Structures are given as C-alpha cells and as structure tokens.
Amino acid sequence: MIAIIDYGMGNLRSVEKAFEKLGFEVAVSDDPGFINKAQGVVLPGVGAFADCMANLKSAGLEGAVYDSINSSKPFLGICLGLQLLMEESEEDGIHKGLGVFNGRVRRLPEGQKIPHMGWNQVRYANKPPIFEGVPEGSNFYFVHSYYVDPSDTGIIATVTDYGFEFTSSIWSDNVFAVQFHPEKSGDVGLKVLENFGRLCK
C-alpha cells in the first residue's frame, strides 16, 4: 500500500488516480498510524509554502513525514512536497521547512516568465532508480515560481534549464523528490511513478 499524505493541500486525486491506473494499491490519508504502516509514502503539494507547513503541523503530520523517511521506506515528494523538505523558503518572507535537507527554496530569477509553467527537459546529474527507463532529456510538466537550492550538491538527481540551471529533482537513499508533476507528464511521468511503486513492494 502506498499512502498519499493528505494535509489539505495538493492535487491528491490526480496522483492517486495515476497510481491506480498503474495497478498499485494506494490511499489518501491524514492518519499518521496508517501512513506509518504503508510500504511507501508520497508527499504532494500545491500552494504557498507557509500555508503547507502550517497545515502539516496542525494536522499532526510532521512526525509521519520524519518517521516515514527514517524508516527507510520509499518516500516521494512532488512539487511543493520537494520544497518542504528543505530548511527554509524565501516565499513571502522566510519560513522554516521540514529541514530534512540543508538548503533554501528560492524564487526563480527575473528575466523568465514566472511561474515556470509547461513542459521542460530534465538532465541527469545522478540518475536515481525512479528514472529507470526514462531517456535523458525527457520532458516533464512544471508549474512553479520557486526552486530548491540544496547545500549538498550530491543529492541533486536532475537539473533543468530555464534561463539558468536549477535542481529539478533530488535523491538521497530512500528519499526521492521532484519539482515537476509526474502525474501530469504523460508516459514518462507514469514511468517515474511506476518505478517508485515497484520500489515500495
């Protein structure tokens, strides 16, 4: 069973439907006990960083995130679910994140259209297992105005060019997190979710 963390923000149903289409058992849940029993955990997210952190805390789900990561089970962050793993974000002031990784969430620089919305390529810095069978330079669907700037460049899995090169996914042990939306990225996105689902078995 794959648990999708429900903290009141995020396109939970589209992520759930994508996993169901691939034949995986999946459930959206805000129950820490259920999440802790799952074989894999997904943290999606859409919206403002501070609101998402506040919702996670008020729902008592911060601990479920840390427990899932520390248990070595496969963990996938999507979009804001990637950004929340950092120490802090510059979105609408400075706000503390979950601090799983050292680094900051920064606003995309002026000069390009913000938000960065639409299809863009990813290039491998360090190919993680969830990208197995996904060709170099594949296009994924992005919608974001901020990006992660990890202190440890060793966790950078893919980079994407948007007038400058930014980190579009990270990987460290059992933790995978992507800035794009795999559930909206056609066959290559489904391949990423399928690879993640297999790791959860």
The residue segments making up the domain with residue 166 are 2-199
pLDDT-derived band at 45, boundaries 50, 70, 90: confident
Average pLDDT, stretch 40-69?
Answer: 94
Looking at residue 80, what is its pLDDT? 96
Looking at residue 116, what is its pLDDT? 97
Most confident of 6-10, 58-62, 171-175: 171-175
Whether residue 183 lies in the annotated active site: yes
pTM of the predicted structure, to 2 decimals: 0.97
pLDDT-derived band at 42, boundaries 50, 70, 90: very high
Average pLDDT, stretch 12-40?
Answer: 96
Q: What is the CA radius of gyration of the chain?
A: 15
Q: Which of 16, 91, 183, 194 is catalytic?
A: 183
Residues 6+ apart with CB under 8 A from 32: 60, 61, 63, 64, 67
* pLDDT of 128 above 90: yes
Q: Could you give the number of structural domains in the chain?
A: 1
Looking at residue 168, what is its pLDDT? 98
Looking at residue 46, what is its pLDDT? 86
Whether residue 200 lies in the annotated active site: no
Whether residue 52 lies in the annotated active site: no
Residue of 151, 150, 153 whose CA lies nearest to 77: 150
Specify whether the CB–CB gap between 40 and 74 falls below 8 A: yes
* pLDDT of 47 above 90: no
Looking at residue 8, what is its pLDDT? 83
pLDDT-derived band at 86, boundaries 50, 70, 90: very high
What letter represents residue 128's amino acid? P
Q: Which of 16, 79, 144, 200 is catalytic?
A: 79
CATH number of the CATH domain containing 77: 3.40.50.880
Q: Which of 52, 144, 181, 194 is catalytic?
A: 181
Cβ–Cβ contacts within 10 Å for residue 108, how many?
Answer: 18
